[in-house]
Structure formats: C-alpha cells, structure tokens
Structure 1
C-alpha cells in the first residue's frame, strides 16, 4: 500500500490514530502485523533516542520502515519522534518521514516557542506535518506544579509556532511500566475547547484502558505507545530463555518477542479504533 502520512491519517480518522515507537526490525514487523490483524491504520515512530541506539544512523531503520509500510495491507505512516537535534530534523523528509515531533519542551516558554517556530518553518517548506509539545510529560513528573499544559498558554503557543498538532501534558508520564496514570480529563476538555489543532497523548503505556478511551472521547486524536511494546518483547524473551537456558539462536526468542508485540498492537488498536 502506498506510504501515507500522519496528517492524512488524522484527517480521515473517526477517533484517534495510534502511533507506536519502534527500535528494531522486529518492532516494525510487529506493528505492521498487529495493524493488519486489527484492520486499522497505524503510525510507525522512530525517536531520536532510537536513532542514537542505532549508532546515530537514521536511514537503516527508516528504510526498513518505509518498505514495511509499502508492503502493508493497511495504511501506514512514518513519524520522527521527540526530535531535539536540528541536524536530525533536516534528515526527515529525505528518509521518508511525512511528519515529525519537534521537542523543545525542556526549554523555557519563550525559547520553546522560538525553536519550535523555526522548526515549523523549515518542516512546512519540506511538506512535513509537525507536532510540538507544551508542558512536561516526563522530567518533573505528571503532578508537579507547572508540569501540565495551560490552555491559554497553549493557545498562544499554537498561534505563535504554527504547529499542526500539540502534545499536551495531562497526567501521563513517559516510560511507565505500570498502568496507573490518572488523566486530568477536565483539563483535556479545556484544551480541546481552546485549540483547533489535533491533541496528542504521549506516555500512553502507563494509562489504563478506560482512561485512554475517555481521553480519545475527550479530544485526543493521536495516541503514542512505546514502553508497552518493549514490555511485551522483553517479557516474552525472558520467558523463552528462562525455559531454555541452552538457547543461543536469537531467532527463537526474537520471534516470540515479535509475536508478543504484535498482540499488544492489535489489542491497542482494537481498543482505540472504532470498527
């Protein structure tokens, strides 16, 4: 199927688009397999941290993702996630990505706005859809003073930066391994009323099912999932090797890890994508 873009998927979506962060070829294959099983579109995300893990080289993983997307039976988009490096940002279009999340949220508001505005100007000149972030989804923690996204500030940020979507801090936290996050749905309602761009939920692996579906109903239009895949893969590999301490062929345990991730993808998509 021809490669699509995150922006196109969100425009056509009846609810939310789900995006999964990938690190290895097995991640990519699992996301596509799970999406095909669910009959749902999906976004493959490569983060700056994943690029660092791949020895700083974007193209090997990106090329694999492009081919997997083109061979998929469902629409698949490629998204470059949590980019802080301008050098990496400028590789996005040539590597096959249709969208990018530029993350300057670590900076004070004025610096975040200026950096994001510059990134938006360049991205739009290349035909890229771009997501920004306001508030702190990691770092301080979801409940620290000043960590959550303020609706009035968000309105000014979107207008001043020109972003196509905004990642908002409403109570989720990156890299959670327990599904105990409680979202601030009242704040989400105020953000949805204040903004006219799609809202993105990061750190969704730590959010229970009922909280996720309520967030989508309340205005979240892109849901990012990463840690849940790594938990599924690591758990399956650990179980395989515990039962087979003599195993040395990685294909056996990687296959089980891939299958576990695919099941996680399918379950998540069936939860968040209307039939």
Structure 2
C-alpha cells in the first residue's frame, strides 16, 4: 500500500511539473515574439526565385507580421483589463471604506443626538420637579397666608364682637336694690295695735325684714319701681295684694297688703309706702322709672309716713 501511495504521489508531482512547464509568462511571450520577428527578418533577406514565390513570401511575411501585432494587442488589452479590474477593486474598496466611514459618522451622530436627548430629558425632569416644588411651595405659602389672614380677620372680628358684647352688656347690666321692712311694728306700742293672729314672728320678723336687700337687673328702660317690686315678691314667695291704676281713685297702682299685713291693721293711718334713695318719689310706684343704682325700700308706716321720714 505504501508503494502504491508513493507512485500516486510521484505521478501527481510529475503532472504538476508538466503543467507548470506549459504555463507561459508575459516575458516569455514577448521573448517568443522577438524571436519570431528575427526569424521573419531572416526570411525577408532570402532572394526569391521568381515573382510568384516572391509574392507568396511577401504575403507570408505580411501575415506573420500581423500575427505578433495582434498578439501584442491582446496582451495590451489583457493588461488594460487587469488594470481596470484592479482600479474597480480599488474604487470598490474605497467606496466601501467611505460607506463604512459614513455609517460610523452617522452612528456617532445618532449616539450624540441620543445622548443630547437623554440629557435634555434629564434636565427637564430635574427642572420640572423643582418648578413643581416651587409652584407647590408658592401655592402652599399663598394658602397659608390666606388662612393666616382669615384667622386674623376672624380674631379681629371676634375681638371686636367681644368688645361690642362687653359694651352691650355694660349698657344692659344696670342694677337696683329692693327691700321690704316692718321696723315700725317692732316697737311694743305699735306691735300691740295688731290683731292677735298677726302678732307672730311669721308676719313680723324679729329683724324687721320680710325681704332682705336684694339686687335686681334693669331689663329694659320701661322697668319701674312696681315691676321690680313684683319680681322681688314673687321670687321670695311673699304674699301680697294690690289694686291696679284703673281701679282705685288715685289712678296708680296701690299696694293693699304684703305678708298678710294690710292698711289700717295697726291704726287708721297705717299702711305701705315706698321710698327711692331715702326720699319720697312723689309718684306712684308704677310711674317711677328706675335708674342704675336706685335703692327701693318698702316700709309699713303707722303714722302716714311721718315715722319713716317722709315728712
């Protein structure tokens, strides 16, 4: 088997050598043409025997001379084609390089534009929250200011309303005092004048006060000594009896009895009389409009007011 392989390899090598020998280069071809030219030139120097031979010889020379030119032309064309193919290849390579450069440039531009867009978007995103924060802070500040102003206005209004209320309260809250007393009946001679059922501490208290000094608010400008007296007697649950202004001959309210003590129970000149600030008012109790600080005192008189300081 080894010998067979050896022979096959030797045959392949021989074939390749023969094929290589047949390959003719351009230089060999040019040398061959030069040799042929020299042979043709030597043939032209031979003297022809007759005209026919001469003509034939000339035709041969002409034919032979045309052949190398055609061969030369073929070689030139082949070299031109080779150069053209090389130039085409170079141009194609240059075009491909230019295209690659253009693609690289375009890709670089695209990357730059993308980066710029990203940076712009990032700046917008950074600026937008800051703007939003600033706007939110401004709106919050405005809201706080409005709320503060509203609170200040409310406080002012409340303070003014309180001040007005205080003023109104001061105007309305006017007071008088009232008391109902039987000090004259504490004397023995006057006390003895009473009927035996009335000679009792229930009707004539030892301190002489049926209603101790009490303070009452003046509710309106129409309050009178009589309206204050009614309030005091009702509040202290004291029995009383009176005649209205249209009933008696005096044309005013007339109190007939308080705490079961009536007029003339202690003599013909006995009965109830009132004073304001220690003085005789000169009008009936329903005709006297009270004032702030007035002191109203009802007393039981035995001598028609002389014993209580009226005269």
TM-score range with shorter-chain normalisation?
A: under 0.3
**Larger Cα-atom Rg:** 2
Higher relative contact order, chain-length normalized (CA < 8 Å, sep 6+):
1
The TM-score, its normalising length taken from structure 2, stands at 0.17
After TM superposition, the score normalised by the length of structure 1 is: 0.18
Name whichever structure is richer in helix by fraction.
2
